[in-house]
Structure 1
Amino acid sequence: MPLDLAGKVILLTGAASGIGRGTAIKLHELGAILTITDVNEVGIAETLSLCGGDASRHTTLVLDVSQAAQVEQRVAEVVSKHGRIDHVFNCAGVNPTSMPLTETTEAYFDKLVAVNLKGMYNVTKATIPHMTAPGGSYVNVSSISGLHPTRGTAIYCATKYGVIGFSKCMALELGPKGIRVNIVAPGYIDTPSNAGIVKGTAEARASMEQGNALGRMGMPDDIAGVVAFLMSDEARYMNGSVVEVDGMLKT
């Protein structure tokens, strides 16, 4: 049965590129009404263009999820326009730079925690009072690094493990209201923000591909379809689930 998100009001963070952009396009194709947010104003304008360019249907808002007051303001704008929020896609995040812990800085730690974890807290806290209940849902982006430790990414892993713990607690807290909370844990995805692609070599990419059972890296579309399913009524009994979307990494 085809997924149906027609008319659903969906707020997306981190939607200027990569997984966020790919998911926005997918949700647009399924008939949703989108609020496309990111710190990158040019990027969200490009995402809107890829979603048909219809500014009367979709909205773009510059949003730094680490700033609680700004999040509250933007959520108020969404609710003023649409009267409700049906689904939230918490995708805003900072990818890691692989380095020993002794080479990290307090500023690096603060940035990752502020965006990857506190940002999700800010958006979730601000939207809960306006979520459709029952029937609303959150889909939060963790990572395979939120399930399996990786050398040189202790701070990033901590934030992504935290996303899973936070999301599962929210699933318990919001479930009685009929609001579901689920998590996607992507593997190596070919996006502009993926440090392994942007800064890596052809050999590094080949290693990623060869280390995957499907023999390739993931694409934003591979995640977008899962997100759409989790928001849909087809996933109505999924709550607190962590869905690994990684092509099966070889061990």
Structure 2
Amino acid sequence: MGQGRPEARVAVVTGAARGVGEATARRLARRGLRLALLGRELESLRQVASSLPTEACCIEVDVTDEAALQGAARGVQARLGSASVVVANAGIAAAGPFAASEAALFNRVIAVNLLGSANTARAFLPQLLQTGGYYLQIASTAAFGSAPLMSAYCASKAGVESFAQALRTELHPEGVDVGIAYLHWTGTDMIGGLDDHPVLRALRTHQPGPARRVHSPDQVAAWLMRGINRRATSVYAPPWLRFIQPLRPVLPVIVSHVARRSLAALPQAELRSTTGVLGAGGLADWEAHRPAPPGPPVTPPQC
């Protein structure tokens, strides 16, 4: 293959310690790429790296820390060479009513998913320009129609979709291709206990049969790898999601109507009790960044 194609080149995967990031790294390694695994959980990254058939380096980095990510990019280039594939996969999710959610958690989801993706692109763009590479932004069907009780996650995934679309047009004359991957229900720890969590259960219950199916990280990674090989502008996981795109103008109305029915029977006390970050990876990130409890309230000045 030509310049920027995967064979015998370097790939960077953020959020590579588990789930889709880990599975995608394995697929890329089996194609002969050398891997840079970026994430917050260094020991997990090392375990993944030790099982890959090609050279891999692990860098513990927070994608919201732009300076650290720039340093990571320099380290990747020095150790492995310039990246020709970058998969911006790092992300966290939180569920629950907006009014019952901590403002800091809402902000953290936006920071990791949206600003972290922009930081990733900014850090590795000089290398992608050198290699005529491919940048794959992991988005979600949450960008199709904003589901209630997932406001931060939906906002962040709609944001990364718009960001990647703008980036695609900007970089096309430079020979860098930008793809957007739309993932649906994927069996990572982010949706662990899917049928026991009231928010996730409610969001899934009234979806059509095929839309309720949960796909394994490895199956999703296979679809992503197919898109990477083609330098696709859009990657759908599962592939039938491509047929939903023409319906997007009406999807918010449909999602809202279905969600009202799904949520009507849920007690507010149950929703409040399960409000918070989803998955072990997200919990690790949140515990590292959760602010200290606020002090006593300040009496506002009289007007």
> Which has the larger displacement, 100-109 or 114-123?
100-109
1:226 to partner: Cα distance: 2.3
Offset of 1:110 from its aligned partner? Answer: 1.4
Residue in 1 aligned with 2:92?
Answer: 94
Q: 1:221 aligns with which of 218, 228, 231?
A: 218
The C-alpha deviation readout for 1:145-202, integer Å capped at 9, x for no partner, is 011211211111000000100000000011111101111111111111225539638x
Whole-angstrom distance in 2 between the partners of 1:135 and 1:125? 15
Counterpart selection for 2:56 from 53, 58, 75: 58
Q: Give 1:229 shift.
A: 2.2
Specify the code of the residue in structure 2 equivalent to 1:66.
Answer: T
Out of 239, 245, 249, the residue aligned to residue 237 of structure 2 is: 245
- Provide the secondary structure at the position in 2 that maps to 1:222: helix
Q: Distance in 1 between matches of 2:66 and 2:144?
A: 28
Which residue of structure 2 aligns with residue 41 of structure 1? 42
- In 2, Cα distance between the equivalents of 1:192 and 1:145? 17
Following the alignment from structure 2 to structure 1, what is the Cα–Cα distance between the partners of residues 42 and 224?
Answer: 23
Report the secondary structure of 1:213's partner residue. helix
Change in Cα spacing, 1:166 to 1:214, as seen in structure 2 (3 Å) is closer
Could you say what secondary structure the match of 2:116 adopts?
helix
Which structure 1 residue ranges, 5 or more long, are not aligned?
Answer: none
Q: State whether structure 2 residue 96 is matched by structure 1 residue 104.
A: no
Q: Please state how far the C-alpha of 1:14 moved relative to its aligned partner.
A: 0.2
Q: Which of 58, 65, 68 is the matching residue for 1:67?
A: 65
Shift of 1:215: 6.5
- Percent identity over the alignment is 25
2:69·2:119 contact (CA, 8 Å) conserved in 1? yes
Deviation (angstroms), 1:49: 2.9
Are 1:23 and 1:224, in contact at CA under 8 Å, matched by a contact in 2? yes
Number of residue-to-residue matches in the alignment: 238
In 2, distance between residues paired with 1:128 and 1:228? 20
User: What is the letter of the counterpart of residue 116 of structure 1?
Assistant: N
- Judged with a 3 Å threshold, the aligned counterparts in structure 2 of structure 1 residues 9 and 209 are, in CA distance, closer, same or farther, namely farther
- In the alignment, the residues of structure 1 paired with residue 144 and residue 184 of structure 2 have an alpha-carbon distance, to the nearest angstrom, of 11
Shift of 1:134: 5.8
* Matched residue, 1:161: 158
Q: 2:184 aligns with which of 183, 187, 190?
A: 187
What's the TM-score, normalizing by structure 1? Answer: 0.85
Matches of 2:34 and 2:139 in 1, distance apart? 24
Match of 2:132 in 1: 135
Sort the Cα spacing of 1:173 and 1:161 in 2 relative to 1 into closer, same or farther, 3 A.
same
Which region of structure 1 is more displaced relative to structure 2, 67-76 or 187-196?
187-196
Q: Given the superposition, is the C-alpha separation of residues 33 and 102 from structure 1 closer, same or farther in structure 2, using an over 3 Å criterion?
A: same
Distance 2:224 2:115 in 1: 21
Query: In the TM superposition, what is the alpha-carbon distance from 1:210 to its structure 2 partner?
Result: 7.8
CA separation in 1, counterparts of 2:209 and 2:146? 17
Residue deviations 1:106-128 (CA, integer Å, cap 9, x gap):
20121101100010111101111
Contact kept? 1:212, 1:248, Cα under 8 Å: no
Gaps of 5+ in 2: 245-253, 255-303
In the TM superposition, what is the alpha-carbon distance from 1:34 to its structure 2 partner?
0.3
Cα distance in 2, alignment partners of residues 40 and 66 from structure 1: 15
- Bigger share in helix: 2
Whole-angstrom CA distance in 2 between matches of 1:198 and 1:19: 20
For 2:82 and 2:41, locate their aligned partners in 1 and report how far apart those are by CA, in whole Å.
25
Contact residue 6 and residue 31 of structure 2 kept, 8 A: yes
Higher alpha-carbon Rg = 2
